[in-house]
């Protein structure tokens, strides 16, 4: 290491300091966050678990429909929808993606590493933006692979008299894309929730409550005025609208997608406000 | 250079740090000394922009930390050596820090070599001993080859080899002209490492002076005398203007008369002496006197 001996050292690394432009600053933060993301083992194990669960469930559900098709009544057969059936795993897989998003930031709070992150980059909103961008891209990639693989494997089990779909069917492609979008938005929601609560356990419990427990409690209540203006807007039901064929009372895919995105943006805003004022 | 002006941090009604004024100058090791809970870590977090001051300010090279674009070229810090994701390798940890400031990847290898972790660079940090974690933390601080270095309790939990290594490193960094601020609650360690001291107690600055000054300021140099007829000797020393304390075991503690005078007096008066010894106050004693005052009076001792 080059070393100066004067009172004001001018070490060699100083000469290579990058220019002060928003672009170079943003690129540096992205590079740093990407190194952390790809070396975060719990992220990859969660993604792998989510993949295994989705593919496995789709396989099991479709296989059982195939083998028991003749035992179903005529009405059940008429209502059978191969796309909806093979994508049912999404109701649980959203949890894996929510957890995956939360882990990106809660592991840093849990270990205290977040302080090192903010010492290196005092521009905290930039750190969160970089995390969100990378998680959005990576999450969408993982989600698309997971949902497509599960869909294809599920459909491959359906044959003969059992209706089946292929990705060439625009409705099937739309459902797979909608499902991947749902998982991506859930991951982002998990990230910003993680910023708010700073704890993996709390973030995952909250996701579990909102995405899994709450719908079970309220979805089948009498569909009065209050129900119709609240329950369809639960994140899990908005997600449902994104991949499932339309059912009465629920929101259409386009408004469902934008409302879910709005939730993500509001949570991001709250996280950002806290991040700027909170002591690290 | 680090400069604090009226730096204050309150949590609710309790002030963790109040009205700190100090400058940390380049070219020497400045020890940041105080008991646990005195506000050292809070001050360091404010320097690094992690905590916001309730009032007052602290600047690094004349600027607020939050406004620095590439801070690691100017300042490096070791806060908590264990604050690294345990599943990540040492190399990836340093690489992500370097990338955040556009520091070339080659620096990662350089600092790993410098702290002696090259052999375990690809190992997961979770398996590191505390000493290795401290070295990794220091490697992170050195990444940008910064002119200012901050170390929070760097020798905590280290074995003698590790302590010696850190002490030597800090001294050489200061000798290169860098600004080095190191916090500790271990007075003995500071006596060996620091040139200059900032002493705080209960969030207030108690002293801002060189090590020698601090010891000299409270230099109540005493002479310890053990004599067969200590009562008679005590009386004679008092007539010479000495302040004499009689310990339970018969030892006399004398202030105001030096050992040579006492020896001559003893010879002239026919005393039998068993011991005649100069006692100089240590940094530890000076420190205890300072912090003791802060607890009793809850007011700053003029620096």
Assess if residue B27 is contained within a domain.
Answer: yes
Report the pLDDT value the prediction gives residue B219, as an integer from 0 to 100: 62
For residue A113, the distance in angstroms to the closest alpha carbon of chain B comes to 5
A1 touches chain B (CB under 8 A): yes
- Answer for the pair B91, B124: CB distance below 8 angstroms, yes or no: no
Could you give the number of structural domains in chain B? 2
Report the pLDDT averaged over residues A155-176. Answer: 94
Q: Does B86 have pLDDT greater than 80? A: yes
B224 and B266 fall within a common domain = yes
Cβ contact A9–B147 (<8 Å): yes
pLDDT for position B293: 61
Nearest by CB: A111 against B50, B72, B84: B84
Instruction: Please give the interface size between A and B, counted as residue pairs whose CB atoms are below 8 Å apart.
Output: 133
User: What is the pLDDT at residue B278?
Assistant: 85
| Partner A, chain B 272-291, Cβ-Cβ below 8 Å | none
Last residue of a domain, one of B216, B234, B257: B216
Whether A22 contacts chain B with CB within 8 A = no
One domain for residues B9 and B69:
yes
In a domain, B81, yes or no: no
For the residues A169-175, what does the mean pLDDT come to?
95
What is the three-state SS of A110-167?
A: HHCHHHHHHHHCCCHHHHHHHHHHHHHHHHHHHHHHHHHHHHHHHHHHCCCCCCCCCC
Q: Are residues B166 and B55 in the same domain?
A: yes
The pLDDT of residue A15: 52
CATH number assigned to the domain comprising residue B250: 3.30.70.100
Q: Which of A26, A31, A120, A126 to mutate to test the interface with B (most CBs of B within 10 A)?
A: A120
In this structure, are B165 and B257 located in the same domain? no
| One domain for residues B70 and B166 | yes
Per-residue pLDDT reduced to its tens digit, A181-223? 999 999 999 999 999 999 999 999 999 999 999 999 999 999 9
Please report whether residue B91 resides in a domain. no
Assess if residue B138 is contained within a domain.
no
| Percent residues over pLDDT 70 in chain A | 95
How is residue B81 written in tokens?
A: 């050596």
**In a shared domain, residues B206 and B250:** no
What is the span of the domain harbouring residue B249?
A: 220-279
CATH code of the domain in which B169 resides: 3.40.50.300
> Could you read off the pLDDT of A104-120 as tens digits, one per residue?
999 999 999 999 999 99
Residue B221 burial (10 A CB sphere; 0-12, 13-18, 19+):
middle
> Torsions phi, psi of B181, nearest 5?
-115, 120
Q: What is the pLDDT of residues B47-57, one digit of tens each?
A: 999 999 999 99
The reply to whether B158 and B264 lie within a common domain is no
pLDDT digits (tens, 9 = 90+) for A40-99: 999 999 999 999 999 999 999 999 999 999 999 999 999 999 999 999 999 999 999 999
Tell me: pLDDT of A13 over 90.
Answer: no
The answer to pTM > 0.80 is yes
pLDDT at residue B189 above 90?
no
ipTM at complex level = 0.88
Q: Do B165 and B269 belong to one domain?
A: no
Angle formed by the axes of helices A235-243 and A170-197, to 10°?
Answer: 160
**Residues B234, B266 within the same domain:** yes
The pLDDT tens digits for B249-259 are: 889 989 888 88
């Amino acid at each position: 290491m080059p070393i100066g001996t004067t009172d004001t050292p001018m070490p060699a690394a100083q000469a290579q300091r990058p220019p002060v432009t928003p672009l170079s600053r943003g690129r540096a933060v992205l590079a740093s966050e990407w190194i952390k993301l790809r070396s975060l083992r719990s992220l990859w194990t969660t993604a792998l678990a989510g993949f295994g669960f989705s593919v496995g469930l789709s396989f099991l559900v479709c296989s059982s429909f195939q083998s028991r098709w003749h035992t179903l009544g005529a009405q059940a057969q008429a209502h059978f929808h191969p796309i909806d059936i093979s994508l049912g795993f999404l109701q649980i897989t959203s949890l894996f993606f929510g957890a995956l998003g939360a882990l990106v930031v809660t592991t840093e709070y849990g270990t205290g590493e977040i302080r090192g992150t903010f010492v290196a980059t005092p521009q905290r909103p930039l750190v969160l933006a970089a995390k969100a961008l990378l998680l959005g891209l990576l999450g969408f990639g993982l989600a698309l692979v997971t949902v497509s693989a599960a869909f294809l494997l599920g459909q491959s089990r359906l044959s003969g008299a059992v209706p089946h779909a292929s990705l060439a069917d625009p409705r099937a492609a739309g459902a797979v894309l909608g499902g991947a979008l749902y998982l991506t938005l859930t991951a982002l929601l998990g990230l910003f929730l993680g910023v708010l609560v700073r704890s993996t356990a709390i973030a995952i419990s909250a996701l579990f409550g909102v995405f899994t427990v709450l719908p079970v409690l309220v979805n089948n209540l009498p569909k009065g005025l209050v129900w119709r203006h609240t329950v369809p807007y639960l994140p899990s039901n908005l997600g449902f609208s994104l991949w499932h064929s339309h059912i009465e009372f629920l929101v259409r895919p386009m408004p469902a997608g934008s409302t879910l995105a709005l939730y993500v943006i509001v949570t991001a805003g709250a996280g950002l406000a806290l991040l700027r004022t909170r002591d690290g | 250079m680090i400069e604090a002006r009226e730096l204050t941090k309150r949590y609710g009604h309790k002030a963790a740090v109040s009205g700190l004024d100090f400058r940390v100058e380049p070219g020497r090791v400045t020890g940041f000394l105080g008991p646990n809970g005195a506000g050292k870590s809070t001050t360091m977090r404010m320097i690094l922009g992690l905590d916001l001051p309730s009032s007052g300010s602290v600047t690094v090279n004349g600027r607020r930390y939050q406004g620095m674009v590439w801070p690691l070229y100017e300042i490096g810090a070791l806060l908590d050596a264990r604050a690294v994701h345990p599943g990540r390798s040492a190399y990836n940890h340093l690489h992500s820090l370097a990338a955040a400031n556009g520091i070339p990847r080659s620096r990662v290898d350089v600092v790993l070599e410098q702290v002696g972790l090259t052999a375990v660079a690809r190992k997961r940090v979770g398996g590191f001993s505390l000493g290795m974690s401290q070295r990794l933390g220091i490697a992170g601080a050195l990444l940008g080859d910064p002119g200012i270095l901050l170390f929070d309790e760097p020798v905590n939990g280290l074995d003698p080899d590790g302590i010696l290594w850190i002490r030597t490193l800090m001294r050489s960094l200061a000798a290169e002209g860098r600004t080095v601020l190191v916090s500790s609650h271990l007075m003995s360690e500071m006596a060996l490492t620091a040139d200059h001291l900032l002493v705080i107690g209960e969030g207030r600055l108690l002293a801002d002076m060189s090590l020698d000054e601090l010891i000299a300021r409270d230099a109540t140099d005493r002479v310890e005398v053990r004599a067969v007829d200590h009562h008679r000797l005590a009386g004679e020393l008092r007539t010479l203007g000495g302040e004499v304390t009689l310990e339970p075991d018969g030892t006399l503690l004398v202030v105001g008369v030096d050992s040579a005078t006492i020896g001559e007096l003893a010879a002239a008066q026919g005393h039998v002496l068993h011991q005649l010894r100069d006692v100089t106050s240590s940094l530890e004693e000076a420190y205890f006197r300072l912090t003791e005052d802060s607890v009793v009076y809850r007011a700053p001792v003029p620096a």
